[in-house]
Structure 1
Amino acid sequence: MDKGTIVRTLVLLIALINQLLTLYNKSPLPLDDEQLEQFVSMVFTTVAAMIAWYKNNYVTKKGHKQKQLLEEEKLTKVKKNNDKSCSSPK
């Protein structure tokens, strides 16, 4: 998995844990106003879920094959390796 997939997955996991804590009346955010806490929790979960679903994460084997094909056909960005063989001026 690439770094973007890992970050989006972790953000979604944190949002889901936050939502679960709020559901069981645990306070993941140290706020006094319950409605504000629930609103912030809902917004955080919604944004994290939308980002995770919007991005094409290539998590499955089929997804990895699709990504490889796109890279072979130069239809996506390919990370360039830093070639250390060329000398830089000193």
Structure 2
Amino acid sequence: MDKSSITRFSVLVIAVINAVLNLLGYQTISDEITNDLIAFMSGAIMLYAGWKNNYLSRKGLKQKEVLEENELT
């Protein structure tokens, strides 16, 4: 398993544990903190996806040049 798979799996496990504890009547994390955390993570994921899907870095610009040289764009 790679790093991203481990991260996704661990977040899923934490979410399931939190959901089960909430069903049993234990509120482990307040709703306000949960909403703030989700908003932060969503923003971070959007920025990362935008960075990775565009030719913004030096590596990305080199890839774009290679694509244009081979007429693949």
- The TM-score with structure 2 as length reference comes to 0.41
Q: Which has the higher helix share?
A: 2
